[in-house]
Amino acid sequence: MFHGVKSRTSVTRFFPVTRIWTAFTMPACAKRANRIRWFSPAILLALLACSNPPSSERFELTRVDANWSNGRLNVTCEQNLALSKEAREALIHGVPLTIELELTLRDTGSQVHVANQTNSYEIRYLPMSDHYQLTHERDRSVRTFPRLRHVLAALSNLQVDLDTGVLPSGGYELLARTRLDQKSMPPPMRLPVMLSAKWHHDTSWSSWPLEINPGA
C-alpha cells in the first residue's frame, strides 16, 4: 500500500513532482521549383519549438489516483484531451485515431522497471449513423457516442489495472503518459503528422511517487 495509508485498499492521490520532457528531430524535405531542400535537425527543432499547439488543442494529465492490492495496481487517470482541427477533420474523413495511455512502475532505488503497460483506445467516426465509436483495444470493449466531445469526456477519466506481481516494501514511481499514436496513422500521413505541431498531442512523461508496504 502507499505511504501514509494504513488500509491495504485505500485510495491515494498523487501530484507530480517531476516531468520528463522529450524531443525528437528528423530531417524533412520540401520540393519547390523541382528542387529538394533539406533542413538540418537543428533548424527543424527550432521550427517545431516556435509552433507549439494552443492550449485548446493539448493533452494534459492532471491527476493520478492509485490503489495497490494483491499484486495489482488499480490506476485512475484524470486528463484533459483536446484534438486539433486537423485531427478532427481527419476523423470525419475516415481516418481512425488511436490514443495511448502508457504506464510504467519503477523502483525508485534501483530504477528497475517493475511493470509496463500500454492501453490503446481507437476513435472512429461512423458516417452512416453520424456517431463516434470508441474501442478499448486491450479488452475489445466498444462504446458508441453521438458527439466527439462525449468520446473525449469518456477518455478524460480512465481506470486501468497494472499487474505488478508480489512487490517488496519500498519506494516506487509510477510513470504515466497519454499521447496520440502517430505510428497508427495511414502511411502517407505519417511524415506530415510527425512534422506538424498541429498533430503533437502528448502529455509527456510525468512521475508520481508512491510507497508500497505489502505487509502493513
Beta strands in the chain (DSSP E): 12-14, 18-20, 28-32, 35-39, 59-69, 72-81, 97-107, 113-126, 131-136, 141-145, 157-163, 170-180, 205-212
CA 160/CA 176 separation, integer angstroms: 12
pLDDT tens per residue, range 96-155: 999 999 999 999 999 999 999 999 999 999 999 999 999 999 889 999 999 999 999 999
pLDDT score recorded for residue 53 = 52
Which of the four pLDDT bands, split at 50, 70 and 90, describes residue 6?
A: very low
Entry pTM: 0.73
pLDDT tens per residue, range 27-79: 333 343 333 343 344 434 444 444 455 555 689 999 998 888 889 999 999 99
Show me where the domains of the chain are located: 12-27+36-212
Distances (CA, A) of 66 to 11, 14, 26, 145: 6, 8, 37, 28
The CATH T-level fold of domain 12-27+36-212 is: Immunoglobulin-like (2.60.40)
pLDDT score recorded for residue 66 = 86
pLDDT score recorded for residue 215 = 67
If one counts every other C-beta atom within 10 angstroms of the C-beta of residue 179, the result is 17
Q: What is the DSSP string of 131-169?
A: EEEEEETTTTEEEEESSHHHHHHHHTEEEEEEE--S--S
- What number is the average pLDDT over the span 85-97? 96
